[in-house]
Amino acid sequence: MLREKKYANITIQEIIDRANVGRTTFYQHFTDKDALLGSCIETIFESFSDYLTEQVPPEHESRLMPAAEIFAHIQENSRLINGILMSDSGDLLFDKFKSYWSKRIEPYLLAHLPKGKTPKVPIDILTNYITSTTIELLRWWMKSDEKYTPVQMEQYLFALIFPSVTSILGE
């Protein structure tokens, strides 16, 4: 439905009609359509987490982020993800993405900060820069019909962000 109309214009009645469930059944599981959307986004992240566990070899776990795997997962699930991203609720998905990756990127950055060095920019700002750049690149990639492979996108992303990371951390 998100591909058909704006999230704000979707009614509970349309949702239950499409799902072929009763109103009582819907409300047994969700308090409102925002809870349903949140559940869909959580499902995406659970599936993403499972995917990463299966796809990322242990020798690659030390990367800043498994960007190629992120792009590949989005590509494999593009119908669902596009439906959310291209709707007015896409920002909610990206906010979750940003929070999810910020919690993983910040420890990586701190571990790569030379002992006794103070970064030129606070780590939380650098983390925000990396996640924001990643999100905007993902949006662009999806809108451009994924014309580059996930591996190429990882290379381009890292080429964009690593000069800043290196400069800021003083590596």
Characterise 146 by phi-psi region: left (phi > 0), alpha (psi -120 to 50), beta (else).
Answer: left
Other CB atoms closer than 10 Å to residue 7's CB: what's the count? 17
- What total number of domains does the chain contain? 1
- Which pLDDT score is estimated for 89? 66
With beta carbons less than 8 A apart as the criterion, state whether 89 and 38 touch.
no
With beta carbons less than 8 A apart as the criterion, state whether 134 and 105 touch.
no
Q: In this structure, is the dihedral angle defined by the CA atoms of residues 72, 73, 76 and 81, taken in order, positive or negative?
A: negative
Confidence category of residue 62, pLDDT binned at 50, 70, 90 = low
Q: 104 pLDDT exceeds 70?
A: yes
CATH number assigned to the domain comprising residue 120 = 1.10.357
Total residue count of the chain as it appears in this document: 171
In a domain, 1, yes or no: no
Q: Work out the average pLDDT over 68-74.
A: 85
Look up the pTM and report it: 0.74
Q: Work out the average pLDDT over 10-16.
A: 93
In a domain, 120, yes or no: yes
In a domain, 4, yes or no: no
With beta carbons less than 8 A apart as the criterion, state whether 123 and 109 touch.
yes
In a domain, 107, yes or no: yes
In a domain, 70, yes or no: yes
Task: Show the domain range for 78.
Answer: 33-169
Q: 23 pLDDT exceeds 90?
A: yes
